Structures are given as C-alpha cells and as structure tokens.
Chains A and B, each alone.
Chain A
Amino acid sequence: MTENYFFEKFLEQFEESDLSQITIDSEFRSIEEWSSMMALVIIAMVDEEFGITITGDDIRKSVTIRDVYNVVAARKTAV
C-alpha cells in the first residue's frame, strides 16, 4: 500500500465535493461532504481495500488524511 494509492482511494469515496485543494495533509473534516456516514464509508473502504479494521477511535483521533493512512500502515505492518 503506497501513500498515494491510499490517498486516491480515500478521495474516491467523495462524489460531490470539490477536492482540487485537498492534499494528504488536509483535514478530512474540512471536506464539504464529510459526515458521520462518510466515516462509515471510509471504515468500509479500508476494510475492503486493505483488509484492516479501523475503529471509531482511530477516526476520532485523526485530523488529516495522513493520520488515517498512518493508522492503516501501522496496522498493516503489524499483521
């Protein structure tokens, strides 16, 4: 899993937002479409794409997209 691939998959989940200014260091909560429902979509995407389960706490403690990537990367290494 590369950082870029994760970032690409993360953004793919948003269908209606302008993502042109979003980088991996952007705060994901600033994306217009972000909602509690989108959090579930991200948890599902991580599970399907990377076979890793992230929890509500992981999302709550993360601020940027990179933070979520770091959680997934750390857990992937541990597996």
Chain B
Amino acid sequence: MANLNVENVELVGVSIAVPKRIVENRDNKNFSEEEIEKFIETTGVERYRYGHHCTSDLCFEAAEKLISELGWDKSEIELLIFVSQTFDYILPNTAPILQDRLGLPKTCISFDMTLGCSGYVYGLSAISSLLNSGKIKKGLLLCGDTPSKIVNPKDKTSAMLFGDAGSATAIQYKNQAKGMNFNLFSDGSGYKAIMIPDGGYRNPLSESSFFENTYEDKVIRNNCNLFLDGMDVFSFGITRPPLAVKELLSNSNISSDEINYFIFHQANLMMNEMIRKKVKITSEKVPYSLRNFGNTSSASIPMTMVSEIKNELRTRQNNLLLCGFGVGLSWGCCLINTSNLIIPDIIEI
C-alpha cells in the first residue's frame, strides 16, 4: 500500500471537452428494447458521446480553454502529463506532441501514463509529486480516452457503456498549501479482466487480430477490441474501492461527514451504488455523470466535477474524496481541498 501526502500544491481548475455527437442507447438497433432497458437500469447509461477525434484533440481543446480562463502564462507551464490508453501513436508519446501543439516551452517535462479508470488519481499523484518541490510552478494533467475507437458495437458487454471525453486539470505550486493525500494500489493478477489482447509486443498485430469471434450471443469482438470480464470487474469494484476510501479517510483523520463530495470513477450505476452503500454515504454527496456521458475512463472524475457540481466547485471551498479503479487492476483515492475552482462550461467539438 502506497500512502502519499503531497503538500505545497493546489488544484486550481478543471475542464472537459467531448465530441458533439450524442449517441442515444435507446436508438441502438443491435439489441432488443428489453435488453437496452435492462442495460440502462443496471448501468445508468442512457447516452454518451462518440466522435472521430483522437483523445489528444479533446484534451487539447480542454487545455486551451482552461489556460485561457485561468489567465496562465504558457511559458510558466513546465509539466504536462497525458493519461490515456487511446494515444496518438505507438510511439512517440502523445504528451510532447501536445506540449508543442499547446505552445508550451521546450523546458516542459512531458510524458504519457498508460492508465485507464484509475488514471486520474494516479495522474494527480504524479503531477503533484513533481510540483511540490517548487522548482516547477505550473502543470497540466490531461486525462481521457476515446472508447469509440476500441469498443466493438456488437459486443453487448461494452457497446453501450463507454463515452469519449478529454479533460484538463491545472495544478500549481503554492507554498504552505495543504496539498493532497493519496493511497494507491495495484493487483496485476487481475490483468486479464480488462484488456485489448493484440497490438502490443506480447501479441503483435497479425491478420487473425482482426477476425471477429462470437463468444456468446451478442458478444462479438476481435482481438484489437476492448474485452471486459464483467463479473471479475464487478467483484473487484465492490470490494477494493470501498476499503480504499475508508482507509484514506481513517489515515487522514477525517470523517465522511466532513467530505462535501465523493467523486467516484463512473464504472456503472449498480457497482457505484454498491460502493456508495458500503462506504455509508448519502446519495447527495455522490454525483453521477453516467447517465449523459457513460463511463469516460480516466476522464470520468473530472467529467463528474464539471458536468454535475461545477457551481459548487466554482463558488466555495470543498473537501473532495476522489476514487478511481479499473484496468490493471489498479485503484486509488485522493483527498483534496479545493477553493473556487476555475471551471469552463463543457466544450463540444
């Protein structure tokens, strides 16, 4: 178990960009009306966004808008971390491309982190740790994914669940700032629970990578598509995240009553509600963006902040407990106090 307490940093702004195109689950022709209604009831996802953009395009727009609303001088941004599993190229990393595209200085440290649903919390821990010495003053954490590129529309286990989104989060050095508390975990024994088997160097792309296999009724995908073992993910999700949340509260000597919002990765409604009940928190403190945006991978926490509670975050101080969990398996929590965040309205491109 890794517990980190990173002082002298503050989160000052968050933004989100999504494709304009809205996909309504009830319009899906691949599944029966009954299947769709059951799916919506279980997952909470009614619609999501799909586009032709790369994740970096969405993050770029989110970052440009945020930098402009913050009034940041780009020459002072010397750290950029891009967290995504749908990067531009196998190599190079997408972060340096974004550094150049955003007009950030060549003194900027930029690198990718290939994480999914735990990525926002992991990304926050990395960026805040690099900032807290004070040598670098401002950093951007860009998180997101475009599941539209990896999900097979004929696979009922994932077809109607995920949405495209890119986020930008601005963090800066501030002497004496309370900072953030983290606990972070990994369990690689569960790596097969969520994966794309082909296209890396363990299973390089071959002709067979593109053959569509029917695994069961309406579960059709190839080896370059996202595979999700719903049962394994579910039993992981209802056990590990609630324990991590309780542990971070206890380690930080703070009670759940003192937390304004618990912002969980938006996996699916049934799983998230079980987590909420296990941590014993009221529903008012647990916002959901699942209904309108689906599961947006590493963008789901900033998505929920922007789409569901932006006014509360813009106008007052809040104690937030963020919790990400998923592919890896990887999970973690972050306790953070925010004050009058800069949050542009959701950007549609």
Which chain A residues have a beta carbon within 8 Å of chain B's beta carbons?
A: 35-37, 39-41, 43-44, 47-48, 53-57, 59-60
Contact = CB atoms under 8 A, between A and B. Distances in A.
Interface residues of B, number: 19
A36 B274 contact: no
Interface of B: 38-39, 42, 156-157, 193, 216, 219, 229-232, 234-235, 238-239, 270-271, 274
B235 A56 contact: yes
Q: Is the interface of B mostly helix, strand, loop or mixed?
A: helix
B231 A56 contact: yes
B230 A47 contact: no
B38 A47 contact: no
Q: Is the interface of A mostly helix, strand, loop or mixed?
A: helix
Contact of B232 (A37, A41, A56): A56
A16 B231 CA distance: 22
A36 B238 contact: no
Contacts of A47: 235, 238-239, 274
A38 to B, nearest CB: 9
A56 B237 CA distance: 12
A20 to B, nearest CB: 22
Contact of A40 (B156, B231, B239): B231
Contacts of A53: 235, 238-239
B183 to A, nearest CB: 20
Contact of B274 (A48, A54, A57, A60): A48
A40 B232 CA distance: 9
